[in-house]
Amino acid sequence: MVPSSSLASALAPLTADRSRTALLFDVDGTLAPIVRDPQASSVPELTRRLLIDCQVIYGLVGCVSGRQAKEARRIVGIGPIPYSGNHGLELLPRGAQESIVNAEAEAWTDRVHAAAHGAAAELREASGLRIEDKGPIVALHWRGLEDEIAAEAVAEQIAEHAKAEGLLIHRGRSVIELRAPVTSNKGDAVHALLGGVEVDNALYAGDDRTDIDAFRALRALQHEGQLSEILCVGVRSEQTPSELLAEADLLVDGTEGVSSLLSALAD
């Protein structure tokens, strides 16, 4: 765990004027513990309450996810904050009922789904590979399956077919995503959430390779003079990629460490 003195020192520039500070968080592996079944994911009650406390006193609290924005909101369980989903392809504004979806990506939805369901169907069913439909993105999950190696091989086969069909392929922890060929990442999500919000400082916390783009977006905004103080927080676990650890300004241990971080921010 980060010593309390070190944590307080790292947060001091952000807590000096909380009304001018944005707090942005990845969801899975950061706010919510990684679980075998992605549909069973949820944010612990203590973490949720701390997020609500921070929402009251900070200029912005928002969430970024590779899941659909509505699904991220369900997992976090807080309606009146904004969510960016599908790696920046969706924006669900505060309290909104429907997400704003990138129109170019949305036009590829049928083709993305066809690539996921049409290739290696028998092998996919035999392996138990789980398919998560997220509109213009489909995720192939094998975490916790009886034979993860075999299921991953099937996912790679489907991915190769999808790539030949013109789709983008993204690999994460125990997951391969088939995406519409539209460039978007969590850096775009950061820009979308901060757009129109009057803040000088920002924090982003994440645990996976995709969160590096969010770190770099904050650093670019700082370099351009749009942000004064930033803090990139890496959430450390046995599976956290070394690239993210190297780019983080501060490291915390797992979702428990994020809860402690929120507690310090809300204090």
Q: Where are the domains of the chain?
A: 4-101+184-266, 104-179
Confidence bin at 112 (pLDDT 50/70/90): very high
Whether the per-residue pLDDT at 113 is higher than 60: the answer is yes
DSSP character for 3? -
Domain 4-101+184-266: CATH class, spelled out: alpha beta
Closest-CA residue to 221 (of 236, 239, 248, 202): 202
Q: Name the phi and psi angles at 204, rounded to 5.
A: -130, 135
Whether the per-residue pLDDT at 124 is higher than 80: the answer is yes
Examine domains 4-101+184-266 and 104-179 and report if their fold is the same.
Answer: no
Whether the per-residue pLDDT at 39 is higher than 90: the answer is no
Q: Are 83 and 69 in contact (CB under 8 A)?
A: yes
- pLDDT in the model for residue 199: 97
What is the average per-residue pLDDT within 107-111? 91
CA-CA distance, 120 to 190, in Å (whole number)? 36
Closest-CA residue to 218 (of 196, 233, 208): 233
The CATH number that domain 104-179 falls under is 3.30.70.1020
pLDDT in tens, 162-212: 999 999 998 887 889 999 898 889 999 999 999 989 999 999 999 999 999
Round the average pLDDT of the chain to a whole number and report it: 92
What is the average per-residue pLDDT within 245-266? 96
